Amino acid sequence: MVSNSSLEQAIDKILEKTEKEILSDLENSASTSKKTLDDSLPILEQEYDQIISNGKKEADKIEKQITGSSDLEARNKQLTTVEESIDKVFTKALDEIANTDRSGDYSNLIKSLLEESTKTLGTTDVIVFTNSKDRDTVQSALSQYSGAELSSETIECLGGVKVKSKDGAMTFDNTLDAKIERLKPLIRKDIATQFGVSN
Amino acid sequence: MSAEGGVQYSKIAEIKGPLVVVDDVSNAAFDELVEIETKEGERRLGKVLEVGNGKAIVQVFEGTTGLSISGTKAKFVGKLMEMPVSKEVLGRVFDGLGRPKDGLPDPIADKFIDINGEPMNPEQREYPKDFIQTGISVIDGMITLVRGQKLPIFSGSGMSHNLVAAQIARQASVVGTQDDFAVVFAAIGVQYSEAEYFRRSLEESGALKRSVLFLNTADDPAIERIITPRVALTVAEYLAFELGMHVLVILTDMTNYAEALREISAAREEVPGRKGYPGYLYTDLSTIYERAGKLNGRKGSVTQVPILSMPSDDITHPIPDLTGYITEGQVVLGRDLFRQGVYPPVNILMSLSRLMKDGIGEGSTRADHGEISNQVYDAYSRAQEVRALAGIVGKAGLTEIDLKYMDVGDVFEKEFLTQATDENRTIEETLTILWKIVSKLPKNEITKIKDKFIDQYYQEK
Q: What confidence tens digit (pLDDT) does each residue in B47-68 have?
A: 999 898 889 999 998 888 889 9
Q: Do B109 and A185 touch (CB under 8 A)?
A: yes
Q: Mutate which of B7, B205, B429 to test chain A, going by most A C-beta atoms within 10 A?
A: B7
Report for A74-88, B14-28, B376-390: range of highest mean pLDDT:
B376-390
Collect all residues of chain A within an 8 Å Cβ-Cβ radius of residue B87: 199
Which pLDDT belongs to residue B99? 92
In A, which residues are within 8 Å of B104 by CB distance?
Answer: 76, 79-80, 83
Q: Indicate the residue of B4, B11, B208 with minimum beta-carbon distance to A169.
A: B11
- Whether residue B41 has pLDDT greater than 60: yes
Q: CB-based contacts of A100: which residues, under 8 Å, 6+ apart?
A: A106, A159
- Domain(s) of CATH 2.40.30.20: residues in chain B: 8-80
For domain B83-359, say whether CATH 3.40.50.12240 is its number: yes
Q: CA-nearest residue of chain B to A174?
A: B5
Q: Which of B105, B108, B204 sits opposite A65 (nearest CB)?
A: B204
What is the rounded CA–CA span in Å between residue B315 and residue A176?
56
Determine the pLDDT at residue A54.
Answer: 87
Q: Could you say which of 2.60.40.1250, 3.40.50.300, 2.60.40.10, 2.40.30.20 is the CATH number of the domain covering B8-80?
A: 2.40.30.20
CA angle B361/B367/B371 to nearest 5° reads 85
CA distance A144 to B64: 42
Of A67, A174, A186, the CB nearest to B206: A67
Q: Which residues pair with B16 in a beta bridge?
A: B19
Distance from CA of B395 to the nearest CA of A (A): 33
Looking at chain B, the domain(s) classified CATH 3.40.50.12240 span 83-359
Whether B3 shows a pLDDT value over 60: the answer reads no
Asked if B336 and B342 touch (Cβ cutoff 8 Å), the reply is no
pLDDT at A199: 55
**What band does B287 get if pLDDT is binned at 50, 70 and 90?**
very high
B83 interface with A at CB cutoff 8 Å: no
In this prediction, residue B269 has a pLDDT band, given cuts at 50, 70 and 90, of: confident
pLDDT tens string, chain A, 199 residues long: the values are: 556 788 899 999 999 999 999 999 999 999 999 999 998 898 899 899 989 988 988 888 888 888 888 888 898 898 899 889 988 988 898 888 888 877 778 888 899 999 999 998 888 899 999 998 888 889 988 888 888 899 989 999 888 899 999 988 899 999 998 888 888 888 888 888 888 766 5
Q: Which domains, and CATH codes, for chain A?
A: 100-194 (3.30.2320.30)
Query: CB of B289 within 8 A of CB of B230?
Result: no
What is the distance, to the nearest Å, from the Cα of residue A197 to the centroid of all Cα atoms in its chain? 16
The Cα of B423 is separated from the nearest Cα of chain A by a number of Å equal to 10
DSSP for A103-114, written as a single string: STHHHHHHHHHH
B-chain CB neighbours of A179 within 8 Å are: 3, 5
With contacts defined as CB-CB under 8 Å, which chain A residues touch B13? none
ipTM above 0.90, yes or no: no
